Amino acid sequence: SLSAGSLDPNTTYYWQLYGRNFCGYTAGSDVMSFTTGGIDAPEVRVTAGTQEVLHSGTYTFEETMSGDETEVTFTISNDGSQPLELTGAGNLDQLAGGAGIFQITNDAEAVIQPRDSTNITVVFAPQSAGEFEETLSFTSNDADESPFIITLKGSGVAHPEMLVTYNYQDEDGNP
């Protein structure tokens, strides 16, 4: 008996057996495989680009000059086999803890079909230098990840000061 630990849904696994005794290893068996079944429920997954964002996790925006903005698209996927329902209107404007430094610029779909996804875009727009943090959350019918909570962090950076000096000299080098 062998315990393989946790396996990913809808994934094919391959293995091959070898025997060993005091003489060494035997030739391997034929390659065998099996495929796991799907999750018979909705299952939320959130990514920002190629980075997975975990439930109760943190996403840190790149440093942004005050007065500028940085935009990140979060993809909300349904890895389950049943529709994922984002409750609260499908409008994820549930940002808490800030003064509009982070803003959602579009609505997400209210229902995400199995193996489908929807996107939301969050803009980080600091108006001053400093560290900023807000919480993005949404509820769904995912049994173990609702509400899905993401801490958003960002650093506002002051524009560098520029010092301009001017030294006038005539053709003889006199000021």
Q: Report residue 89's pLDDT band, with 50, 70 and 90 as the boundaries.
A: very low
Distance between alpha carbon 84 and the CA centroid of its chain, in Å?
A: 18
Quickly list DSSP for 55-114: TTEEEEPPPEETT--EEEEEEEEE-SSS-EEEESTT----EESSSSSEEE-SPPPSEE-T
* CA distances in angstroms from 131 to 7, 17, 60, listed in the order given: 39, 55, 11
Q: Each residue of 4-57: pLDDT tens digit?
A: 556 676 788 887 888 888 888 888 888 888 887 766 789 999 999 999 999 999
Q: Each residue of 96-139: pLDDT tens digit?
A: 555 678 988 888 888 999 999 999 999 999 999 999 998 888 88
**How confident is the model over 70-83, as a mean pLDDT?**
93
Cα gap 61→70, rounded to integer Å: 7
The pTM for the full model equals 0.68
